Structure 1
């Protein structure tokens, strides 16, 4: 097993799409990643709740294509985010079994810092 740490950032383009269920929102997005994680990704986000009042949640799936710490391939990420009383929680993980190329056996997580509208990430991966 090899542990890999990489840092980078991404720019996101996000657009509302038709909701799939009453009382929910749907958004399609693309990202451009730079730094130790470099490439592009595309995904879908589903949300519910009332973000304006500080209570809401979302789930997202995205597929990344590019390189992480010099290893190339594709991988899928899953996100689970929530807000309660204005406090935020986020899980951002590699979907097991989703990798191709040099990323085939990768597992791990991303730690996102979105302070001031800048999206920086630290990637903690394990290659088996």
Structure 2
């Protein structure tokens, strides 16, 4: 299975608290847009649901749509993401969702990891294209 590696840059970040929790922490919704150069080229948009703790750490889940190209093939695909934030670095896993890839990426499957530091991130994505 080929593995794409690359970076992404956050181009917009919008966070809204939807509930301050009794006992500390909060629940938030975060909308992010990204630019992706490299093995996966294009744009990403992700919606995160975040559970912050009082110490600033967090756990999050989200869905991310990437529009662009992988290995020279164009289309869109969607990944589910699960991760943790220690107050400085966020890291997590991606899983390509079956049946949501389009155009030349239709049938794509795969999984990977991401690491976010500030407004930049690095990722790897092992993938299979039908």
Cα distance in structure 2, aligned partners of 1:44 and 1:82:
15
2:44 to 41, 46, 50: 41
What is the distance in 1 between the residues matched to 2:54 and 2:127?
A: 31
Note the residue ranges of structure 1 that are not aligned, 5 or more in a row.
Answer: none
Q: How does 1:5-24 map to 2 (within 5 A)?
A: 5-12=3-10, 13-17=12-16, 19=18, 23-24=26-27
Single out whichever of 42-51 and 101-110 deviates more from structure 2: 42-51
Count matched residues: 124
Indicate conservation of the 8 Å contact 1:8/1:122, yes or no.
yes
> 1:75: Cα distance to partner?
0.4
Deviation at 1:53, TM superposition (A): 5.0
Q: Using a 3 Å threshold, how does the CA distance of structure 1 residues 120 and 83 change in structure 2: closer, same or farther?
A: closer
Tell me: CA distance 1:75–1:36, structure 2 relative to 1, closer, same or farther (3 Å): same
Judge which range, 9-18 or 109-118, deviates more.
109-118
State the 1:52 CA deviation: 2.6
Query: Per-residue displacement from partner, 1:26-59 (whole Å, max 9, x unpaired)?
Result: 11110100011100011211111316354x3111
Q: Determine helix, strand or coil for the equivalent of 2:101.
A: coil
> Residue 91 of structure 2 contacts residue 115 of structure 2 at CA under 8 Å; is this kept in 1?
no
Superposition deviation, residue 4 in structure 1: 2.4
Q: Which has the higher helix share?
A: 1
- Preserved CA contact (<8 Å) 1:51 1:83: no
2:102 maps to which residue?
A: 100
Taking structure 1 as the reference length, the TM-score comes to 0.80
2: CA distance, partners of 1:91 / 1:119 = 13
CA separation in 1, counterparts of 2:96 and 2:20? 26
Normalised by the size of structure 2, how large is the TM-score?
A: 0.79
